[in-house]
A and B are shown apart, each in its own frame.
Chain A
Amino acid sequence: MEFIKNAVGRLVPTEINGRELKPFMGAHADQGGGEKYGGKVPAAAKFNNKLLDNLDAAIDACEIRDGMTISFHHHLRNGDFLINMVMEKLAQRGLKNLVLAPSALFPVHEKLVEYIADGVIANIEGSMNGPVGRACSQGKLKGAAVLRSHGGRYRAIQDGDLHIDVAFIAAPCADPHGNANGVNGKSACGPLGFALADSLWADKVVVVTDHLVPFPCHPWSIEGGNVDYVVQVESIGDAAQIVSGTTRITRSPTRLLIARYAALFVADSGIMSEPHFSFQAGAGGISLAFVKYMSDLMHEEKVTADFIRGGSTKFMVDMLRDGLTKFILDGQSFDLDGVRSLRDNPAHIETNPFVSYNYHTKGCFAQMVKVAVLGATEVDVNFNVNVNTHSDGWLLHGIGGFADAADARVTMITAPLVRNRLPIIVDEVTTVTTPGETVDVIVTERGIAINPQRDDLLQRMKGSNLPVKTIGELHDIAIDMTGIPQKPEFDERVVALIEYRDGTVIDVVRQLLQQD
């Protein structure tokens, strides 16, 4: 295997799984070009009856063979039944060497580890976490996994880097034509955007629902014209695990402090009061509190955002209700308030990775967001961020939308400086998920570091009494508390590629020497 040094100084292979790879050259170096994936031309006359009796009938109809690539979306999160249902059937049929292409995996999918061990699954492209990530770190996948951001996954499918043979789309509500949405039915989850690319470019598309309605199912997030088969099942998921009934803000004083610093940074830097303000925040403990503090500050200063981007939660819905934002642009709903609001409020808009995150488009929403607040596992003194591997080298998380959302005008990382003896700021991240050039501010409980390339932000913060420090100072504070950590020891073998949103390779994950 040949390696080449990329723009963040990491050695990455030039070829893997028989595919030629490009090294990461810089966040916006890629200039596009080339052709999109085409796919076959269908004929409407053949699709008069798509409704099949059961999943087995759909698997038969799709003619799934060894080595095929099967995709799923993750809108049902830890409540998803479909991946386990389908994979169990494929395993029972004795299929081998399948490539799984999920947009994310959750702890509920732990059973996949067995299918990896049995050779049913040879590789994973897209995302993984927890037990499946551990198996990958132990070298149990036959191929080298590919981790992509949400936008990167859409791009890879659109560009033909990731060819999907069969896409199974769990749909909380669908009609016999295959129109589907995520806002109605007992398994309502909110948007269905992560399945869009799969529906457009997979050779076969199967919509699986537990709430079949007569045509037309409206609104339709998935369009029936892209769907081959529709299957009705008893249940596609566990509603309690799909969305949480109530979203609670963290009670940790440290996390609240970090969220408050982040919100005050947005206010003190003057960004909040400028025209066309917008922000993006997720559903982690600190992010939720950030949204709450932002809404307090915006209320005080009588600021209305043009839009806010979720992961929607009750706190964002409250902002929409209280006139603190004109729109919510929602990629996934994390609680019932989010789902209801998306269903009932025309100003709460469903988005998909094409419009929000894809780099191979004529512009996407991520680059219009003024402030994005994101979590991280590690940040290094060059502002490179790792969200994939723990400091001890285990691959435990997917990229999510991180690399894409970091395209915001100001990207802020919020994280405790020291977490159970682990320093968040390190000399060099274990894995580079996202380059430092796209990361502007690190907010911790012991100080805020601004990327020196953002002199504008440094100037703006001169009058603020927030504890602005250099990243080196924060690193010193952390190491002073924890001591200098040893580095994990890796084998030569590359077990996963970290693909940047433009399709270049920004880093690799290697097999761990210590396997327990």
Chain B
Amino acid sequence: MKFDFDDNELKKNEASFPHFARSGRAQKGDLVVEGEHREKGGVSVEIESSVKALFGARIEDVVRDSLRTLSAGDVHFKIKDNGALDHVIMARVETVARQLWAIPEPGVLPQARAKISSSKRDRPRRTRLYLPGNNPDIMLNAGLFGADCIILDLEDSVAQNDKWPARILVRNSLLAVDFGSSEKIVRVNPLTTANFAIDLEIVVPAAPDVLLIPKCENAEDLQAVEQMLIFYEKRAELTTEIMLMPLIETAKGVLNAAEIATASVRNVALCFGAEDFTADIGAERTAEGKESFVARNLILLAAKAAGLQALDTVYSDVEDMDGLIASTCEAMALGFDGKGVIHPGQVEPIHRVFAPTQQQVDYAGKVIAAIEEAEKNGMGVATLGTKMIDAPVVARAKRILALAEGDIFKNPPQITRENK
């Protein structure tokens, strides 16, 4: 795969700027922004809002401040707001501005929350909750459901016309929304599309923890992604390194899973995508999933051989909890570390499946105690009962304790009642 850094997509020809542009959705927690050029008169703003009596003045401030930052000339902006928060208003205004004139990059970014998450490579990723990238309302509470990861999607759930509004909204949400203890992942568009580079340019400055790269087919793809990521990280002067999660969802990708897994040091997990995969091989997606059984195992082996996590596809029937649990049990039995999730209600059942038993937790505690004792006594090897404790046993014990601890302290709304 070849690409160049000629980002023509980004720099629009001034002659092509329209007179009028619109962005946003007439939905709860969102707004519709319409902007148009005027002959003279500077910036004028007109506001309708479901919360005008309470936030009308503030909304106007946000719009005017944004337009100032975006170097607006003679323009009229009309806002129809339905309870959108500031970062959403800023995103929609910027999206319209980008269509109407060449704004000074990087646009108008909301103030970042003080709390910067520092996600770890080996954190649990039992659940990764997919959210469509152009729906601001659904993002606000997404961090409340205890999902290990939240995926803000710019790919399949966003129509081509909405790519710009979505990527700006995703950028602003990464900065302004508290996603709790969930890891923040952005699924960008495939490397082969013109969207890819723009996604990176816009989203990287907001420092997501991980980028999920769809339709990965070989090591070259990943290397190209990494190069571009480094380029945009430098440009944004990021101090942290964004991790990568290749999503394998084609026959070719499956066969190259091993090289994909080792193609970038930033890889933390390999993901499998069943929908695209079954379409690619010309099979129906079935409940029992025979058509993808081999593919899933190949990806899993490739991930594990490279020391990465292996993450299974989503279970798409949100009403069928028994089916979800059965599918999760099967995935766990094969060695997968997590499932994709398309509704918050799927999080808890999956976590229950992955939760270590009390027996496992107790044993893991003993293993760690024994190894600490041995280290204190200057011995390299510990024993527990008659069993020797070696490195893999310790690693497993640590993982179990981390999961158990995660269930009690890290995931906020523990809706389970284990410690009653």
Interface residues of chain A, those whose CB is within 8 Å of chain B, are: 253-254, 256-257, 260-261, 264, 267-268, 391-393, 418-422, 445-446, 463, 465-467, 481-483, 485-486, 488, 514
Contact = CB atoms under 8 A, between A and B. Distances in A.
A445 B141 CA distance: 8
Contacts of B50: 420-421
B51 A392 contact: yes
Contacts, number: 75
A483 B87 CA distance: 12
Contacts of B413: 257, 261, 466-467
Contacts of B289: none
B85 A465 contact: no
Given A421-B85, A467-B412, A257 B54 contact: no
A391 B54 contact: yes
Interface string B133-145: 0000000110011
A449 to B, nearest CB: 15
B255 interface: no
Interface in B10-49: 28-29
Interface string B75-95: 000000011111000000000
A268 B345 CA distance: 22
Contact of B144 (A393, A421, A445, A466): A445
Interface string B396-420: 0000000000001000111101011
A267 B58 contact: no
B417 A481 contact: no
A310 to B, nearest CB: 25
Nearest to A256: B345
5 contacts: A253-B344, A261-B413, A421-B29, A422-B54, A446-B144
Interface of B: prevailing SS: loop
B139 to A, nearest CB: 12
Most B-side CB within 10 Å, residue of A254, A421, A485: A421
Contacts of A420: 28-29, 50-51, 82-83
Contacts of A422: 51, 54, 83
B83 A257 contact: no
Interface in B253-285: none
B57 interface: yes
A481 B419 contact: no
B55 A257 contact: no
A261 B54 CA distance: 29
B64 interface: no
B344 A488 contact: no
Nearest to B415: A260
Nearest to A421: B83
B344 A482 contact: no
A264 to B, nearest CB: 7
A421 B344 contact: no
B391 interface: no
A481 B85 contact: yes
A75 B415 CA distance: 37
Contacts of A264: 415, 417
